[in-house]
Structure 1
């Protein structure tokens, strides 16, 4: 499935004669491709095959929405996008999103596993018995933390690269555009998550919910800000 997805994305790039992530449809294609790719590569280091249902489910939902709402034919690039920073800035943002997606899935499983473990400890009937074959809530939390740190590093570079690109395109590094603000909000949420867990001792459900809120902000930034908020970053390709 990933191979066919890769072929489709490459063919879109060939048809457009550029990198295939200049509008919402192309970003959806490339983003979901990278999410599954990162999941497959991550399995070489960690045995996280149990996340397959969550990751593929998320990708199918995102692709379905993209197919129904975001499809646009190939069009020339807008002047502000005609830069090598289109390659650097977006691909790093996609990588950060992919790692955040893995962290989100792990945090969701962590909450379910924590609930099941508490039921076992209190000798109550178990929900989600299938989770008995998966790692403990603590192990899921630790892995989510490590993966979210990788995503945070990529997102930090995304923020920096975006500022450099903005200076080259518009003559200023920061202009409080809606997209810029939400990219920074996401950075702050994940910075708070890492700080709270590392120095404030946040463990268990609190850290998991903060990671989930962070990924919800990523989805809001992509699916709502890109479509309904107008500004210098209005590159959805969907028209007004």
Structure 2
């Protein structure tokens, strides 16, 4: 039931996004006599579908909680699906305040991409490791995710502002730099979409490659020993593990061995797989981005620009600021204060410079700087929008890059 509820939620979110898109693009039709009423109508339809999707998503969350016996936020699949649900909740709250239909065109895709990304991870219910067996798991993770969800809405509003106000027809140096910044942000989103599509495509075709390599591990007595460890690839291994033996490999366009090995300075049996994933993400993202450019026949930012005509730029700027202003104290409580209390209970110290702790602090300091510049220096408009976009990219690196790439006490959350 939980899996079916999440699938239904994903489909309904997609339909809601379609409703918001129809509301924004359809108002220009010659058959529409009252564009304002038309936009409000489709905005209400989109909001209704979003709420229905959220209820289905909540059904997934609580039924999985009942199935697992603990709050389902203990691994990447569970946390990212929960974060997607919180992004939708934050969007609903902000939409009910400002009633800006175009916000759905930019905010809902963030939630949809997060849920799709979560689906590439193992779905099995896993027992909690001892470090997570605490009521602080509910408090820390839920509040941190809710704060990040409002940052996501702020990111969507910031991107909207830039798409509307960057001069895509200018060839001046400053404007070209802004155009490249917007295009890079959109490219990052396309890379994530392409990565998810690649994973599902190769999983659906039954592709698999397994390698065996020697890994040095340390036992409980701090004695190092060499053991055999297998690494499974779900994407064709353009990069294989360093000095590994091929156990099984499905041929891919005649390729029965990796094209090259991971460099020796990349430690661990999973180093090659991580590098392979990065290469496949960039490669598939570049292909998808190229196809979209061919279809649009212009940069993606310039293609989205007409959607923002008639929208009050000050309203968009205000939405971005208010979203971050709401999310910041929630994130402060969840990601710092509650996290430090739990760290003291679990590990006997409030702070230990673990990579995840450091990056959570970086996120907190970044948004503190955003609010400082906004309130004290009057940074509004483009400056504020750029900070909101960059800030959420830092958030996503903290959630994905730190969990999956950098080893630390929070590495279990990357399983």
Normalising by structure 1, we get a TM-score of: 0.90
Please report how far the alpha carbon of residue 237 of structure 1 lies from its aligned counterpart in structure 2 after TM superposition. Answer: 5.2
1:150 aligns with 2:326: yes
The answer to whether structure 1 residue 89 and structure 2 residue 265 are counterparts is no
Tell me if 1:53 matches 2:230: no
The structure with more helix, counted as a fraction of residues: 1
The change in CA–CA distance for 1:71 and 1:56 in structure 2 (over 3 A counts) is farther
Superposition pairs of residues 121-132 of structure 1, within 5 angstroms: 128-132=305-309
CA distance in 1, matches of 2:414, 2:354: 18
Residues 42-93 of structure 1, C-alpha deviation per residue, up to 9 Å, x if partnerless? 222221332112222112222222112x224111111111111101111101
Separation in 2, partners of 1:147, 1:195: 15
1:214 aligns with 2:265: no
Matched, 1:225 2:402: yes
Report 1 or 2 for greater relative contact order, CA contacts < 8 Å, sequence distance ≥ 6.
1
Which residue pairs with 1:184 in the alignment? 361
For structure 2, the residue ranges without an aligned partner over 5 or more in a row are 1-52, 171-301
Q: CA deviation at 1:116?
A: 6.1
Deviation at 1:3, TM superposition (A): 2.2
Larger Rg: 1 or 2? 2
1: CA distance, partners of 2:55 / 2:315: 31
The answer to whether the Cα contact below 8 Å between 2:90 and 2:149 also exists between their aligned partners in 1 is yes
Alpha-carbon displacement from aligned partner over 1:112-146 (angstroms, at most 9, x marks no partner): 22236998xxxxxx97233123222x321122112
Checking the alignment, whether the CA contact within 8 Å between 1:34 and 1:94 is kept in structure 2 is: yes
Matched-pair contact (CA < 8 Å) for 1:2–1:33: yes
Matches of 1:82 and 1:32, distance apart in 2: 24
Give the Cα separation in 2 of the matches to 1:57 and 1:145: 20
C-alpha distance in structure 2 between counterparts of 1:203 and 1:4, whole Å:
37
Q: 1:150–1:229: structure 2 CA closer, same or farther, 3 Å change rule?
A: same
Instruction: Give the CA deviation at 1:16.
Output: 0.4
- Runs ≥4 residues deviating over 3 A: 116-119
**Residue 105 of structure 1: aligned partner:** 156
Tell whether the 8 Å contact from 2:95 to 2:103 is kept in structure 1 after alignment.
no
User: Which residue in 2 is equivalent to 1:37?
Assistant: 89
- Which of 6, 11, 36 lines up with 2:63 in the alignment? 11
8 Å CA contact 2:106–2:157 kept in 1: the answer is no
Residue by residue over 1:127-168, the C-alpha shift from the partner in whole angstroms, topping out at 9 and shown as x without a partner, is 7233123222x3211221121011111111121110111000
Separation (CA, whole Å) in 2 of partners of 1:225 and 1:168: 23
Q: Does the CA-based 8 Å contact 1:116-1:129 persist in structure 2? A: no
Larger relative strand fraction: 2
Aligned: 1:205 with 2:382: yes
Q: Flag structure 1 segments of 5+ consecutive residues without an equivalent.
A: 120-125
Distance 1:176 1:95 in 2: 24
Which residue of structure 1 lines up, in the alignment, with residue 230 of structure 2?
A: none
**Structure 2 counterpart of 1:114:** 165
Question: Could you tell me whether the CA contact under 8 Å between 2:150 and 2:324 is conserved in 1?
Answer: yes
What root-mean-square deviation, in Å, do the aligned CA atoms of Structure 1 and Structure 2 show? 1.9
The 1-side partners of 2:409 and 2:105 are apart by 37
- Quote the Cα distance in structure 1 between the aligned partners of 2:64 and 2:160: 35
Cα distance in 1 for partners of 2:348, 2:133 equals 15
Greater displacement, 56-65 / 16-25: 56-65
Pick from 160, 167, 170 the counterpart of residue 347 of structure 2: 170
